[in-house]
Amino acid sequence: MLIKNWGSILEAKSKFARPVLYLPRRNPTVWIGRAKAEMENATVDLKPHGQDLSGRVHQLPCCVKHDGPASVSHYFKPKHNGVADEGLPLQEAHFRGRLLQGTTLQLPHGYSGFVLAKKTSPPSSKQNSNSWDTKATFQDITYWNHDYVPSHNDELFRAFHWLTVAKALHNPVTPEELASSSFAL
């Protein structure tokens, strides 16, 4: 599944290393998948053992026109701030003067998030390479809303409904199931 949503992926490295913000040029793109995937004219190499960025991937309700590192952990200071009506644990942070309310979403079991970077092709090769490499992986995303409290109705939560639909679409159907469903019709 490819989630395209508007927002940015912020990432900070470990406490002791220089904190880093990655905003991919083709942001915001999060690839969530389970295997090596091939698309038309593109190869995406999903390696499960990149640097684990769990807890440090943030999706903002804005586009930051910046591509490169930034001192995220020194400036972006989420604070835990109670629990929403639906039982979601809430966080609060400020970015560019705006109040953001967020929550952390665990990726479903069996899925991983990948931070991808385009493989650089040697300058000699004229062919435009469209190969992607795994730079890091993550198991959760903290997403942020401007001006409203996160809920299960938010797009990112709902995007995961697709996994259930996809499973239903792709699971083989047994003759018994077929019989019972045609009976129901």
With contacts defined by CB under 8 A, name the span among 5-13, 49-57, 80-88, 171-179 that binds another protein. 5-13
> Closest CB to another protein among 52 and 155?
155
Please report whether residue 6 would count as binding another protein according to CB under 8 A.
Answer: yes
**Amino acid sitting at position 171:** N
- Alpha-carbon 150 to chain mean position: 16
Within residues 54-93, the interface with another protein by CB under 8 A covers 61-66, 70-71, 73-77
The size of the interface with another protein (CB under 8 A), counted in residues, is 46
* SS3 per residue for 113-180: EEEEEECCCCCCCCCCCCEEEEEEEECEEEEEEECCCCCCCCHHHHHCHHHHHHHHHHCCCCHHHHHH
8 A C-beta contact, residue 96 and residue 108: no
8 A C-beta contact, residue 45 and residue 2: no
- Cβ at position 1, least distance to another protein in Å: 8
- Among 21, 32, 46, 141, the residue binding another protein under the rule CB under 8 A is 21
> Closest CB to another protein among 98 and 181?
98
Residue 185 DSSP code:
-
CB 10: neighbour CB atoms within 10 A? Answer: 22
Please report whether residue 18 would count as binding another protein according to CB under 8 A.
Answer: no
- Among 132, 137, 143, 150, the residue binding another protein under the rule CB under 8 A is 132
Please report whether residue 149 would count as binding another protein according to CB under 8 A.
Answer: no
- Among 47, 83, 89, 162, the residue binding another protein under the rule CB under 8 A is 162
8 A C-beta contact, residue 78 and residue 93: yes
> Closest CB to another protein among 74 and 106?
74
